[in-house]
Amino acid sequence: MGVPGLSDAQQHIEQPGPSELRSPLVQHEIKRAGVWFAMAIGIALIVLLAQPIMLILGALVFTTMMDGGTRLLGRVLPIGRGWRLTIVLLAVVAFLAYTFYLTGSSLAAQAQAMRTIVEAQVERVGGWMQQLGITTTPEDLKSLAQQAMSSMGRVTAAVGTAVGAITSGVMMLVLAIFIAVEPKLYERGVAWMLPMDKRAHFYTVADKMAFTLRRLMFGRLIGMAVEGVGVWLLLWAGGVPMAGLLGILTGLLAFLPNIGAIISGVLIVLVGFSGGTHTGLYAFGVYMAVQIIDGYLIVPMVAKRATDLAPALVLAAQILLGALFGILGLFLADPIVAMIKVYLEERSKALAG
């Protein structure tokens, strides 16, 4: 039907106006606004769900470590995957029990003594800086450290307390165990939500990411063991106080490349100089020797062959994710960068092909 009051020529020339939804211009603008609105909702959901997202990513990292141990054990034990995974979990539990239950009382005493020593050394450094004419006081150094720990992202509020850290760790561990029991089941579940023509590419990317993370985590665990045991034995041989606790802290902090090494180095040097100048210089030499062995032998042979990540890129990711997501961001910065790198490489190969 035509529009009353208009001739046939006018009706042929007239087009829907901006007030009508059937106008192509209005439909185009609605689509553009919908895209921006959807992006805003997606960003808001990521911000609001930062804690569960990081916990899920942490569970995937734990799953990779469990899966790597299960696969490695399968080379020497031709038994079912479930039994091999059980052996890996029992070995980890036994190691933690031996480390924390049998040596827990001595480590707790050493931790309290280390806190006192570090505070005393910070005051000495502050006094030395004041003698040089620097106006920074020991209280300024303490407040700077407290501000750095208290401003490390929104996720830190959830895992910053002891109860929150234990709860988050248990949640990640349980989720990781469920995924590690049958990882292909969850991989197929994610692929089911994708279009049919995208699933083959998804399987390729997922397999490459899993392989890269297994190599990365294997190299990281080897580095943690070498640094922790090496620091403990060498500091113990040199008579440095609290060698056992420093070895454990160095091993744990070795999971965080760059930043972890700096923190452990500061602790080793501060505790070392509390026993005298010669002891401090010896502790510094031990730290440098262990870092050189790990950085120039272990990491190039294992981790860099798997990911080939630039140190500056990893450090920038740690700074950014640490500021956004706190301790979990530091913990997951390296794996996240590795997964993004694998995705971009596979995506470029798919486009080139």
pLDDT tens column, 109-150: 666 666 777 667 667 766 766 666 666 555 555 565 555 545
Lowest pLDDT segment from 124-128, 277-281, 284-288:
124-128
Opening angle at CA 165, ends 148 and 46, nearest 5: 75
Token pair in block for residue 337: 């960068």
Return the CA Rg of the chain.
28
pLDDT averaged over every residue in the chain: 76
Predicted TM-score of the model (pTM): 0.70
Query: Per-residue confidence at 289, pLDDT binned at 50, 70, 90?
Result: confident
* CA nearest to 237, candidates 191, 187, 286, 305: 286
How far is it, in rounded angstroms, from Cα 306 to Cα 219? Answer: 9
Residues 6 or more apart whose Cβ sits within 8 Å of residue 5: none
Evaluate whether 307 touches 212 at the Cβ level (below 8 Å).
yes
φ and ψ at residue 239, rounded to 5 degrees: 75, 25
14 pLDDT more than 70: no
Q: Alpha carbon of 114 to those of 108, 139, 274, 315: distances in Å?
A: 10, 18, 10, 28
At residue 174 the predicted structure's pLDDT band, cuts being 50, 70 and 90, is confident
Q: What are residue 266's phi and psi, to 5 degrees?
A: -65, -45
Q: What is the mean pLDDT of residues 319-338?
A: 81
Task: List the end-to-end C-alpha distance of the chain, in Å, as a whole number.
Answer: 52
Mean pLDDT (whole number) for 180-208: 87
pLDDT given for residue 224 in this prediction: 83
Beta-strand ranges (E) seen in the chain are: none
Give the pLDDT confidence score for residue 151 in this predicted structure: 47
Cα–Cα distances in Å, from 249 out to 114, 141, 218, 237, 242? 12, 22, 19, 18, 11
Looking at residue 291, its pLDDT comes to 78
Task: Look at residue 152 in the predicted model and tell me its pLDDT.
Answer: 47
Range with lowest mean pLDDT among 20-29, 80-89, 131-140, 306-315: 131-140
**Is pLDDT above 80 for 192?**
yes
Q: What is the mean pLDDT of residues 178-191?
A: 87
- Cα torsion angle, 272, 274, 275, 280, sign: positive
Rounded to whole angstroms, the Cα distance separating 343 from 153 reads: 26
203-250: pLDDT as tens digits: 888 898 888 888 888 878 888 888 888 888 888 888 888 788 788 888
What was the pLDDT predicted at 110?
A: 64
- What is the average per-residue pLDDT within 185-206? 87
Query: 10 Å Cβ neighbour count for 270?
Result: 20
Which residues, in sequence order, are CB contacts of 165 under 8 Å at separation 6+? 159
Whether the predicted pLDDT of 172 surpasses 70 = yes
